[in-house]
Structure 1
Amino acid sequence: MVSTFPTGNSIEGDREALQSADRVRLEIRALQSKLVRWRRSLHQKPELGFQEVLTSQFVDEKLTAWGIEHQTQIAKTGIVATIPGNSPGPVLAIRADMDALPIQEQNEVAYKSQHKGIMHACGHDGHTAIALGTAYYLSQHRQDFSGTVKIIFQPAEEGPGGAKPMIEAGVLKNPDVDGIIGLHLWNNLPLGTIGVRQGALMAAVELFRCTIQGKGGHGAMPDQTVDAIVVTAQIINALQTIVARNINPIDSAVVTVGELHAGSAMNVIADSAKISGTVRYFNPQYEGYISQRLEEIIAGVCQSHGASYELDYWQLYPALINHHQMTELVRSVATDVVETPAGVVPECQTMGGEDMSFFLQQVPGCYFFLGSANPEKGLAYPHHHPRFDFDESVLSMGVEMFVRCVEKFCR
């Protein structure tokens, strides 16, 4: 009969692992004041995509001061830091985005944005601070992991997208990356929780603009016209049938017309109308299909009314698909980091998009959400809101997640 009780050696091993975990947590939490200071400094000087000059300079100065090898000016303002461990081994990449949004901040805080009309309203200042904290910690503890860690400070996630040009510049090469992880501070989850999901986490993002050309005329003589507004109204209604009748009901998709511009006077029938919108879906099999149906509907409605159209349709980001093995790695680490098992949230999909998806198309990886909302402190406004902010105690938790993933992957 084989004993099911642990041996003395396994008990000792468990004790050592717990002591090591406690040490890591304590050392990372000791960085909290620095993390907050870095984040607030970045928050005060937000910059739009591919314009992150001050942000990149801030990161460069920190990495240089810590003696961390890094390359700058990748895809204009991107930076990649390389931190080797104690021996050869696998290569893990960590990605953090740096850009802000064209939003006027309404928070009245000491670290309020100093750049008019620009704000870190999505948490990228926190992502950059977490990545810096991870770089600092790992550079001081190279003996705790093998292989190499590459930390990617990426520009322009909010658009037009900095991931693809960074990949094209070779950030996943020399040394070749074996896996990649990233996180997003998430005010849709409460502080102290982590959202981890295998498979599709975030949606593909596709955009369209369309001009419908009719024939204008007098509002009292519609028989002499082709009313672009009437045609466009029918198109908008018909586009909703794509999701309702063409998409498998088990899947999820969105077709949204967000803009409509037409007409110039109450008694004039418009000769043209312009619409624009977005398409979202999780299942990659719909790539190309929804765009095809959208144009077929527009063409059919226009033909039935004697109108014409010009359509521009393009994909911004593909769906973000987490790799199963990397997701299990992150989930196993999350169960050690969060205080309770309920703190790991498995179903946390969003129709929001992310260009981290381009990295995940190249190498196995996992992107996860780090709960950052604290309603009791008034820190629960949604992302992209002019009063968005988050509980900064989440910063050290983010560093701990990254560090533990490194130690588990690179061993």
Structure 2
Amino acid sequence: MNKIDKKDKGKKIDRIDQTLKNPKTHTLIKEAHKLKDWMTEIRRDFHKNPEFGMEEFRTMGKIVEYLEALGIEYTSGVANTGVVAIIRGGKEGKTVGLRADMDALPIQDEKDVPYKSTVAGKMHACGHDAHMTILLGAAKLLKDKKDQLKGNVKLFFQPAEETVGGARPMIEAGCMENPKVEVMFGLHVSSEIPTGEIGLKYGQMNASSDTIKIILHGKSSHGAYPHKGVDAIMMAGQALTALQSVVSRNVDPRNSAVITLGTIKGGSQGNIIADKVEMVGTVRTLDPTTRSLVIQRVEKVVNLVAEAMGGKGELIREEGYAALINTDSIVDIVKLNSEELFGAESINIIKEPSLGVEDFAYFAQAAPSAFFRLGCRNEEKGIVHDAHYCLFDIDEECLVLGAALQAKNVLSLLGEED
């Protein structure tokens, strides 16, 4: 993420305050700002009542309440706790999707705020409470303009982004069909970017992930007679060394890949040749071709090293999230809309992809998409902590800006607002 000078941060926070008072401020921002108290109340309720992935039953119920109050049709219980809603426009046209994730993290909330989590060991430490709130705010703005829309808006409240991934089962349940979603937008709040700024990444944005378990089978014997056994620990040492060559010698250096083995377990006694060693790790890659290549090479190295030493190798792969690859033309839409709403100086172009994962990737595979970062940092308010940390918080002004931008993204494709 681009570094922001502290002096610039202060100026940009002041600019947001000035923007809201400026008579030339975009209509959507003014309309969204009228919803600020409503959205703040919603966000704080979600924050006080976090739920883990696939357990978001209260959260689902509250979303349904808000949608009913707004007069928006919906289907709940999609992929267990997900909600899919639709705003049907006054005219025929394409369908645009907006997504928000719902789940919390197993973190104790240590903030001293009135909206601190009331559930021990659970916390919205990644901003999903804000994402749901922003989507509801955008829904309110778009519902009020539904007669102007040339097409439809689908709203996806997705469970379990932090755990098993709710995007894929929602898509498998048909959420992108009837009517078919042709363009998708998603966002994530970022404490690395000041409120009022947007982070945009063209092309590859987040890595794919795979959990790998390597099992090396040998033959046990007394340590005094090693020739009678097949040493699985020796195999593990050779395999660890050989696996380092997969990234350095098999992957195009212009691409990226990571192989990390975080645990190793084997042996029972210091004087006994180990007959089995297990290693568990993660593989991260940025495109499907490299992903397939790395997994194939890891499996071959494991098998051949073990075979060469008289044993047997086994690779168990648990496929994780796909790589998130943005569609450049859709990112351009977000860029143009951000410039119109917040000014050209609001744009941060992210140069390097993240090797972290994000299951919006499955929506991006299903339709041309843009996933972007929404600044929520405010040093004057002490809102500076990273996500997945016990003191994480957001500048709630970002709720207004996020709702306005997501509504603008839809309107720029389905029709112009008054």
Q: Root-mean-square deviation (CA), in Å? A: 2.3
Q: 2:92 aligns with which of 51, 73, 88?
A: 88
Task: Say which SS state the counterpart of residue 92 (structure 2) adopts.
Answer: coil
User: For the residues of structure 1 that align with 2:271 and 2:356, how far apart are their CA atoms?
Assistant: 41
C-alpha distance after superposition, 1:285-328 (max 9, x if no partner): 22321110001111122123223233211322221111222111
Q: In the alignment, is residue 195 of structure 1 matched against residue 199 of structure 2?
A: yes
Between 1:103-112 and 1:65-74, the stretch displaced more is: 103-112
Task: Say which SS state the counterpart of residue 43 (structure 1) adopts.
Answer: helix
Amino acid aligned to 1:203: A
Q: In the alignment, is residue 107 of structure 1 matched against residue 90 of structure 2?
A: no
**How far apart are residue 69 of structure 1 and its match?**
0.8
Q: 1:338 aligns with which of 337, 342, 346?
A: 342
Amino acid aligned to 2:230: V
Task: Say which SS state the counterpart of residue 375 (structure 2) adopts.
Answer: strand
**How far apart are residue 165 of structure 1 and its match?**
1.4
* Structure 1 residues 122-201: aligned runs within 5 Å: 122-201=126-205
Q: In the alignment, is residue 245 of structure 1 matched against residue 246 of structure 2?
A: no
2:388 match: 384
User: For the residues of structure 2 that align with 1:220 and 1:387, how far apart are their CA atoms?
Assistant: 55
Task: Say which SS state the counterpart of residue 51 (structure 2) adopts.
Answer: coil
Indicate how the Cα distance of structure 1 residues 310 and 285 shifts in structure 2: closer, same or farther if over 3 A, else same: closer
User: For the residues of structure 1 that align with 2:220 and 2:386, how far apart are their CA atoms?
Assistant: 42
Amino acid aligned to 1:242: V
Amino acid aligned to 1:176: K
1:279 match: 283
Task: Say which SS state the counterpart of residue 290 (structure 1) adopts.
Answer: helix
Q: In the alignment, is residue 78 of structure 1 matched against residue 82 of structure 2?
A: yes
User: For the residues of structure 2 that align with 1:387 and 1:298, how far apart are their CA atoms?
Assistant: 42
1:394 match: 398
Task: Say which SS state the counterpart of residue 99 (structure 2) adopts.
Answer: strand
C-alpha distance after superposition, 1:248-289 (max 9, x if no partner): 111111111122233455555543222111111112222321
User: For the residues of structure 2 that align with 1:249 and 1:373, how far apart are their CA atoms?
Assistant: 34
1:295 match: 299
Task: Say which SS state the counterpart of residue 93 (structure 2) adopts.
Answer: coil
* Identical columns (%): 38
User: For the residues of structure 1 that align with 2:390 and 2:222, how far apart are their CA atoms?
Assistant: 43
Task: Say which SS state the counterpart of residue 71 (structure 2) adopts.
Answer: coil
Q: In the alignment, is residue 356 of structure 1 matched against residue 360 of structure 2?
A: yes
Indicate how the Cα distance of structure 1 residues 268 and 129 shifts in structure 2: closer, same or farther if over 3 A, else same: farther
* Structure 1 residues 33-52: aligned runs within 5 Å: 33-52=37-56
Indicate how the Cα distance of structure 1 residues 353 and 118 shifts in structure 2: closer, same or farther if over 3 A, else same: same
Normalised to the residue count of structure 1, the TM-score between the two structures is: 0.88
Contact 1:199 1:321 in 2 (8 A): yes
User: For the residues of structure 2 that align with 1:65 and 1:260, how far apart are their CA atoms?
Assistant: 54
Contact 2:26 2:341 in 1 (8 A): no
User: For the residues of structure 2 that align with 1:190 and 1:240, how far apart are their CA atoms?
Assistant: 39
User: For the residues of structure 1 that align with 2:87 and 2:24, how far apart are their CA atoms?
Assistant: 21
Indicate how the Cα distance of structure 1 residues 312 and 144 shifts in structure 2: closer, same or farther if over 3 A, else same: same
**How far apart are residue 166 of structure 1 and its match?**
1.0
Amino acid aligned to 1:37: E
Indicate how the Cα distance of structure 1 residues 37 and 261 shifts in structure 2: closer, same or farther if over 3 A, else same: farther
Task: Say which SS state the counterpart of residue 397 (structure 1) adopts.
Answer: helix
Contact 1:75 1:162 in 2 (8 A): yes
Task: Say which SS state the counterpart of residue 255 (structure 1) adopts.
Answer: strand
User: For the residues of structure 1 that align with 2:73 and 2:296, how far apart are their CA atoms?
Assistant: 47
User: For the residues of structure 2 that align with 1:327 and 1:90, how far apart are their CA atoms?
Assistant: 18
Between 1:152-161 and 1:140-149, the stretch displaced more is: 140-149
Indicate how the Cα distance of structure 1 residues 260 and 341 shifts in structure 2: closer, same or farther if over 3 A, else same: same
Task: Say which SS state the counterpart of residue 37 (structure 1) adopts.
Answer: helix
2:60 match: 56
Amino acid aligned to 2:164: P
User: For the residues of structure 2 that align with 1:295 and 1:158, how far apart are their CA atoms?
Assistant: 28
User: For the residues of structure 1 that align with 2:165 and 2:97, how far apart are their CA atoms?
Assistant: 18
User: For the residues of structure 2 that align with 1:123 and 1:135, how far apart are their CA atoms?
Assistant: 18
Between 1:368-377 and 1:67-76, the stretch displaced more is: 368-377
Amino acid aligned to 1:30: K
Contact 2:257 2:286 in 1 (8 A): yes
**How far apart are residue 36 of structure 1 and its match?**
2.0
Contact 1:210 1:309 in 2 (8 A): yes
Indicate how the Cα distance of structure 1 residues 303 and 85 shifts in structure 2: closer, same or farther if over 3 A, else same: same
1:8 match: none
User: For the residues of structure 1 that align with 2:108 and 2:305, how far apart are their CA atoms?
Assistant: 40
User: For the residues of structure 1 that align with 2:219 and 2:108, how far apart are their CA atoms?
Assistant: 40
Amino acid aligned to 2:248: A
Matched residue count: 394
Normalised to the residue count of structure 2, the TM-score between the two structures is: 0.87
**How far apart are residue 331 of structure 1 and its match?**
1.3
Contact 2:200 2:347 in 1 (8 A): no
1:14 match: none
Task: Say which SS state the counterpart of residue 91 (structure 2) adopts.
Answer: coil
Task: Say which SS state the counterpart of residue 147 (structure 1) adopts.
Answer: strand
**How far apart are residue 329 of structure 1 and its match?**
0.9
Q: 2:123 aligns with which of 119, 124, 132?
A: 119
* Structure 1 residues 206-225: aligned runs within 5 Å: 206-218=210-222, 222-225=226-229
1:366 match: 370
**How far apart are residue 102 of structure 1 and its match?**
2.6
C-alpha distance after superposition, 1:106-155 (max 9, x if no partner): 33433222333322222111111111111122222324433211111111
2:11 match: none
